[in-house]
Amino acid sequence: MSIPFSHGTPFDTPTCIQGWVEYPFARFGNNTTKLYHHIMVQNGDVYTPLTYNSEMTAADEKPDRSPFVDDSSAYWVEDRGQAPSGDNLITFDRIFSNIPLDYTEGGGLYSFSFPGSAASNYTTSMGNGGVIASGDTWNLSFSLSNADSKYFSIGDAIVIRRAWTFTPIGQTPVSRSYSKWIITSKGAFNSGTSGGVGSGFVEYDARLEGGEGVTALTWTLSSPHPIDKVGTFARDSSITLNSESILTNRFIKTDDIGSFRLEDKFQIYSYGGADYVVADVVGTATLPDTQIYSGMTKSVSYIQAEPETPVRWMGNIWQIVGLKVRAR
């Protein structure tokens, strides 16, 4: 069998004798990113690797006799498995790669130190009379503007910011202005008005925590408008909680990874003038502030739990690995 030649010289130019395609991220549903494998033969004494950024095109560095069409989005990343094959020849796998698509996967529960939060108040309408009794449970009805409704969901603990009392039959009046209530239902958006809340509103019901077993069926309210503020409870300091997490993977192609901006761990900063100081509690003068952070917890936002880490994937393509947790 005659020895094949390339450009008239026995294998002075690396020549492809076999090729195949690998899909390294098919398990994540990515059938776009390809690794192009070329089994090459060349005289060992003239072998040199290619340079990063070499494209798999005939005009650039696509191997002679490659079975693949040009792909200008595939770059040389590695020559793998160089080995002698006799007669001063070597074989090796010359690999070109696309830049992989970013992907995310579940990370399970992760323990994270979440910031404390100052209490926030939101204007309400009176609802349908405020407080009513249902069996042995005290219930509260109120409405919020559509804009404010994103801060409250079923199961949230709230506090009423208006002083009023109730009088169980035959007992001394008891103040419940700052009692803890639990939201039990959240209605759909209504485009009308409710008790002064315009431009659309959302209706809520809540029950008084610790009010079970009160057998009285009447209230004496201290004001005809007992409910004008609904507030969140303050969390005076940071707290460590388990929360859902996700693993993020994004890819960049660069010859200088040190100049690339990576996401740092989520942190609260308080500010005054030109100074920014790390803080443990969100407030009105922090980044983010109380309302923004509250909105993040309600909209299932994820925050950076650990700084992003760059890992060389292949060639000068880097995999940026991150871990995020659901804000709580």
Residue 23 within a domain: yes
Name the nearest CA neighbour of 231 among 112, 83, 124: 124
Q: State which amino acid sits at residue 205.
A: D
In a domain, 85, yes or no: yes
Q: Are residues 126 and 76 in the same domain?
A: no
In a domain, 3, yes or no: no
Same domain membership, residue 129 and residue 42: no
232, 258, 280 — which closes off a domain? 232
Residue 30 lies in a domain: yes
Which residues constitute the domain of residue 252?
Answer: 103-115+236-326
Supply the Cα-derived Rg of the chain in whole angstroms: 33
In this structure, is residue 10 part of a structural domain? no
Of 45, 63, 98, the residue that ends a domain is 98
Strand order in the sheet with 35-43: 15-22, 35-43, 89-98, 71-86, 55-56
How large is the average pLDDT for residues 87-99? 96
pLDDT at res. 78: 97
**Lowest mean pLDDT segment, chosen from 130-134, 143-147, 202-206, 247-251:** 130-134
Please tell me the pTM assigned to this model: 0.69
- Point out the domain boundary residue: 232, 251, 277: 232
In a domain, 247, yes or no: yes
Q: DSSP assignment of 121-153, as one string? A: EEEEE-TTTSEEEETTEEEEEEEEETTGGGG--
For position 65, what pLDDT does the model report? 95
164 and 74, same domain (yes or no): no
- Quickly tell me which residue has 């960049």 as its tokens: 252
Looking at the structure, do residues 64 and 205 belong to the same domain, yes or no? no
Total domains in the fold of the chain: 3
Judge if 210 and 73 occupy the same domain: no
Cα(266)–Cα(272) distance, integer angstroms: 20
Q: Are residues 268 and 228 in the same domain?
A: no
Give the 3-state secondary structure of residue 171.
Answer: coil
Same domain, 53 and 91: yes
Tens digit of pLDDT for each residue in 24-71?
999 999 999 999 999 999 999 999 999 999 999 999 999 999 999 999
pLDDT tens digits for range 190-244:
776 555 555 578 888 887 776 554 444 344 444 444 566 777 777 778 889 899 9
